Amino acid sequence: PPVITTFLLQFLTDSQVAQIKRQFFLSWRRNKQVMWTGNNRKEAQDWADRRSMRTLSTVMGPLEHGDDSRCFLPRNDQKRRSQYMRGASALFAWCVTTDDIVTILCPPPPDRFNPGGATNMQLVELPILTGIVGVQAVSRIDVIHPMVHGAEGFRYQLWPVDEVHIW
């Protein structure tokens, strides 16, 4: 959709969008995508890896690292890397909307999301996943709080109905 394309082109070139999409679908597994916020990146990745699920880092593969020859990204330019990854995360969210379900790893209630509302998850990814931006949405968003000992596998629905009460 034009709104997604316009957003992506603030951060990525047309060729980067095409290259990243090709890379995504090399390791894509339907309904096995995981997004995360407010958690340690390594712990979130380890959690996903143990369950054969795919994070942005997994599906980016070698493109996540600026030193790979397939990546258009200069290694030592932190601002451009940040923009590239923001665009990639928006593209990941958009691609996830072709699935039925996505899992989000986040801290437990009441602090599931940043109270200031200024995270990439809140400003970019959730609006895309829920169809507020881009029209297409996943059917369901589940939440897991993997850093809570004993609850690493307990999931509940966040959207379209927030079932936090079962937590």
For 132, the domain range is 2-166
Cis preceding-peptide flag for 109 (omega within 30 of 0): no
In 43-162, which ranges are E strands? Answer: 101-105, 140-144, 155-159
Count of structural domains within the chain: 1
**How far is 128 from 157, CA to CA, in rounded Å?**
17
Strand partners, 157: 142
CB atoms under 10 Å from CB of 62, counted, come to 11
Condensed to tens digits (0 to 9), the pLDDT of residues 28-87 reads 999 999 999 998 999 999 999 999 999 999 999 988 876 666 666 656 688 888 899 999
- pTM of the complete model beyond 0.75: yes
Distance CA(144)–CA(141), nearest Å, equals 10
Instruction: Give yes or no for residue 138 having a pLDDT over 80.
Output: yes
